[in-house]
Amino acid sequence: MAPSAGGNRRFGSAREHLAEEPCVSGPGATAVFLDRDGTLNVKPPEGDYVRSAEAFKWLPGAAQGAAALSHAGFALFVVSNQRGVARGLVDEATLAAIEVSIQAGLDPLSARVEAFRYCRHDLGDGCDCRKPAPGMILNLAHEHRLNLKRSWMIGDARSDVAAGSAAGCRTALVGEPGQSFDDAIVPDVVTTSLLLASEQIVSRLGTDTVR
Q: Catalytic one among 37, 156, 160, 188?
A: 37
128 in active site: no
Cα separation of 3 and 190, whole Å? 29
Residues 6 or more apart from 138 whose CB is under 8 A from it? Answer: 14, 17, 18, 167
Closest to 151 in 3D by CA, of 133, 137, 139, 130 = 137
**CB atoms closer than 10 angstroms to residue 29:** 16
Q: Which amino acid is at 140?
A: L
Give the neighbor-by-neighbor strand order of the sheet with 152-155. 113-119, 75-81, 31-34, 152-155, 170-174, 189-191
Phi, psi of 183 (to 5 degrees): -60, -25
Cα separation, 169 vs 162, whole angstroms: 10
91 is catalytic: no
Query: How far is the C-alpha of 79 from the C-alpha of 130, rounded, in Å?
Result: 9
Which among 35, 128, 156, 160 is annotated as catalytic? 35
60 burial class (0-12, 13-18, 19+ CB within 10 angstroms)? exposed
Give the residue numbers marked as catalytic.
35, 37
